[in-house]
Amino acid sequence: MPTLARLLGLLKPYRAWISLSVVLGFLTVASSIGLLATSAWIISRAAERPSIAALAVAVVGVRFFGVARGVLRYLERLVSHETTFHILAGLRVWFYERIAPLAPARLMQFRSGDLLSRAIGNIETLQEFYVRAVAPPLIAMLTALLMAIFFGAFDPILAVTVIGFMLSAALGVTWLARMLTRRSGAAAIVARNALNADAVDMAQGMADIVAFNAEARQAAKLRTDAEALSRAQRAIGRVGALQVALMNLLINLCALSVLILAAPRTEGIVLATLVLAAIASFEAIAPLPTAAANLQTHLSAAQSLYSVVDAAPLVSEPTQPQPVPSDSTLHVENLRFRYADDEPYALDGVTFTLPQGGAVAIVGGSGGGKTTLVNLILRFWDYQEGLIALGGVDIRQLSAAELRARIGVVAQQTYLFNTTIRENLLIAKRDASEEEIVAAAQRAQLHEFIARLPEGYQTRVGEFGLNLSGGERQRLAIARALLKDAPILILDEPTANLDAQTERDLLTALYALMEGRTTLLITHRLVGLERMDQILVLERGKIVERGAQSELLAREGAYKRLFTAQRQWIG
């Protein structure tokens, strides 16, 4: 099975820990067998009333196996859990590293709750893969070998009998449990992903749900998801009960068979020893059906992860990236791009040059292709035709990470993490000094506001920055861009959804940010554009006008119509 093979491949870095845990698990089972077998021998021998000296060795053996069993069980649990935590951490890092190159283009097809479920819930499920699916079969094989040697020393027929029952339990019951949980295990993963996704949607959209009196519909949807998950889990539970019953039946049949076969072949005091040793050996077999029942859940969880990480990135990294040029001139020539082959072009024949240190604004209505252009420059997508060049080098020949290191972005919806103002700023420059942080905040006209807060830069901004106003969130985004100090600046609708006074104040901070930088402003708000060297009017993916604001206003073209319409609307 490819999925199983890939899962096992992820365990290779931890094989030393796994081997140690398996050995400790085997020794624990062997101690249990030794404890029961030795105890049975003492009881049988004591019935003959021998001298205490005749029982001394066996008494020491009982003490040894009793103490060893407890110590080894503790060590086995300690090592196995330590191994599990290492594997769990490794899986999380592996998943993050694999999906990072897919963002944002490939990840847009997944709901945020679905991704959260895969990144947390499915990986949490896989933490039991080693404990419940990998280690038990290895321990069982070592135990079966030990029993073959032990019973073979008395009689080969006894060895064949015990191994036969062990195989029946290990293979027969395990196969049955595996078959019966194939569908329910997969269904449990699907149902849990759906439940988590809908729960996240509900939490994020609670205000709108309440405003539109949709609580009952949302609750019904969650109830349906929960019932589907409960059905799958109940089916798995029924299989678990069945496999326990079958396992107990086989253990009792094995004990009875050993008793019948050993009675005429061995001495009386050995008979109980053999029977109890056979029963104790099933301690290693008992987890196997449960492991098989959980295996489908583990495989379904892994397949859910692989369905994300196996997606081919929409942006291809060059095999031998060119060095990023020091020249920050941005040249776009006959650029054509569409998101899918059956969709119209979002950009169709766009050509312009943004010289180093220059400032160009791209304006137009919604759906004109403005944000698409930003996504292409940042290499969130790769274009199909034309050219985007930085300093004369096609950006597709540059490392995406190195390219983005040269670009600072202030977006309309800058994501703020639910942590402190300081931590949100340090995303731009992790090793920034306190002086650099304060200087960036001052230039963004944010420092005085922060200084008035009781906790200053340690103030938490809340989820999505909801503890801040829209203007404060944008100033924080500007301060973040200032701290990054990149030579190229992209402003994507930086003043959208702000009131007029806040917009004017924010523009002052943006002009400070633009000084000495190559700036591309994307906006539908025709405010403050007199400072732009050139304005491009984008409609349906095509540039229909270009020029300075004074030139465009002197014409009776698209820009003049947009400008007049906005002034009338504001008035």
Kindly give the confidence (pLDDT) of every residue in the chain, 571 residues in length, as a single tens digit, with 9 standing for 90 and above. Answer: 588 888 888 888 888 888 898 899 999 999 999 999 898 888 888 877 777 777 888 888 889 999 999 999 999 889 888 888 888 888 888 888 887 777 776 666 676 666 766 777 777 777 777 777 788 888 999 999 999 999 988 889 999 999 999 988 888 887 887 788 777 877 887 888 788 778 777 777 777 787 777 788 888 888 888 888 888 888 888 887 888 888 889 999 999 999 898 888 777 778 888 899 999 999 888 888 777 767 777 777 788 788 777 777 777 888 888 998 988 999 999 999 888 888 888 888 899 999 999 999 998 877 778 888 888 898 888 888 899 999 999 999 998 889 988 998 888 777 888 889 999 999 888 888 989 999 888 888 888 889 888 888 998 988 777 788 878 888 888 888 888 888 999 888 877 766 677 777 777 777 777 888 899 988 887 877 888 889 998 888 888 889 888 888 888 888 888 888 776 654 4
Whole-angstrom CA distances from 479 to 306, 421, 444, 445, 510 are: 38, 11, 5, 9, 10
CB 480 within 8 A of CB 432: no
Asked whether residue 199 is assigned to any structural domain, the reply reads: yes
Q: Helices (DSSP H) in 263-369: which residue ranges?
A: 268-281, 287-309
Its domain, for residue 343, covers: 330-570
CA-CA distance, 119 to 94, in Å (whole number)?
10
Asked whether residue 32 is assigned to any structural domain, the reply reads: yes
CA-CA distance, 405 to 28, in Å (whole number)?
55
Could you tell me if 292 and 369 lie in one domain? no
CA-CA distance, 315 to 379, in Å (whole number)?
7
CA-CA distance, 131 to 76, in Å (whole number)?
11
User: Which CB contacts under 8 angstroms, 24+ apart, belong to 57-61?
Assistant: 61/34
Asked whether residue 348 is assigned to any structural domain, the reply reads: yes
CB burial readout 534-568, b (16+ within 10 A) else e: bbbbbbebebebbbebeebbeeeebbeebbeeeee
Asked whether residue 101 is assigned to any structural domain, the reply reads: yes
Could you tell me if 302 and 343 lie in one domain? no
Q: What is the 3-state secondary structure (H, E, C) of 392-459?
A: CEEHHHECHHHHHHCEEEEECCCCCCCCEHHHHHHCCCCCCCHHHHHHHHHHCCCHHHHHHCCCHHHC
Could you tell me if 59 and 197 lie in one domain? yes
The token pair at 248 is 């107990």
CA-CA distance, 259 to 484, in Å (whole number)?
79
User: Chain-centre distance of CA 323, in angstroms?
Assistant: 32
Asked whether residue 315 is assigned to any structural domain, the reply reads: no
Write down the pLDDT at residue 571: 47
Put simply, whether the predicted model's pTM sits higher than 0.75 gets the answer no
CA-CA distance, 547 to 469, in Å (whole number)?
35
CA-CA distance, 277 to 272, in Å (whole number)?
8
Domain boundary among 278, 309, 340: 309
Bridge partners for 361 per DSSP = 521, 535
CA-CA distance, 342 to 470, in Å (whole number)?
37
Q: Which burial class, exposed, middle or buried, applies to 242 when counting CB atoms under 10 A from its CB (0-12, 13-18, 19+)?
A: middle
Contacts of 318 (CB under 8 A, 6+ apart): 396, 397, 398, 399
Tokens 């993963």 correspond to what residue?
A: 189
Could you tell me if 364 and 435 lie in one domain? yes
Could you tell me if 492 and 531 lie in one domain? yes
Positive/negative CA dihedral, 328, 334, 337, 341: negative
Q: Which of 345, 389, 368 is nearest to 493 (CA)?
A: 368
CB 376 within 8 A of CB 348: no
* Counted domains in the chain: 2
Asked whether residue 562 is assigned to any structural domain, the reply reads: yes
CB 526 within 8 A of CB 364: no
Write down the pLDDT at residue 491: 86
Asked whether residue 43 is assigned to any structural domain, the reply reads: yes
Asked whether residue 322 is assigned to any structural domain, the reply reads: no
Could you tell me if 280 and 418 lie in one domain? no
Q: Which helix (H) or strand (E) holds 498?
A: none
Backbone angles phi, psi at 26, to 5 degrees: -65, -45
Could you tell me if 232 and 371 lie in one domain? no
End-to-end CA distance of the chain: 68
Could you tell me if 402 and 511 lie in one domain? yes
User: Which CB contacts under 8 angstroms, 24+ apart, belong to 73-78?
Assistant: 73/28, 75/24, 76/21, 76/24, 76/25, 76/27, 76/28
- Please give the single-letter amino acid code of residue 38: T
CA-CA distance, 353 to 370, in Å (whole number)?
15
Could you tell me if 240 and 356 lie in one domain? no
Could you tell me if 380 and 525 lie in one domain? yes
Q: Which burial class, exposed, middle or buried, applies to 354 when counting CB atoms under 10 A from its CB (0-12, 13-18, 19+)?
A: buried
Could you tell me if 274 and 387 lie in one domain? no
User: Reduced to 3 states, what is the DSSP secondary structure of residue 523?
Assistant: strand
Positive/negative CA dihedral, 527, 494, 352, 364: negative
CA-CA distance, 547 to 535, in Å (whole number)?
5
Q: Which of 568, 524, 525, 532 is nearest to 550 (CA)?
A: 532
Tokens 């220059």 correspond to what residue?
A: 358
Contacts of 192 (CB under 8 A, 6+ apart): 117, 121, 229
Q: What is the CATH number of the domain that holds 502?
A: 3.40.50.300
Write down the pLDDT at residue 552: 86
Tokens 């990840």 correspond to what residue?
A: 107
Q: Which of 204, 137, 215 is nearest to 169 (CA)?
A: 137
Q: What is the CATH number of the domain that holds 184?
A: 1.20.1560.10
Write down the pLDDT at residue 569: 57
Bridge partners for 425 per DSSP = none
Contacts of 114 (CB under 8 A, 6+ apart): 193, 196, 197
Could you tell me if 294 and 360 lie in one domain? no
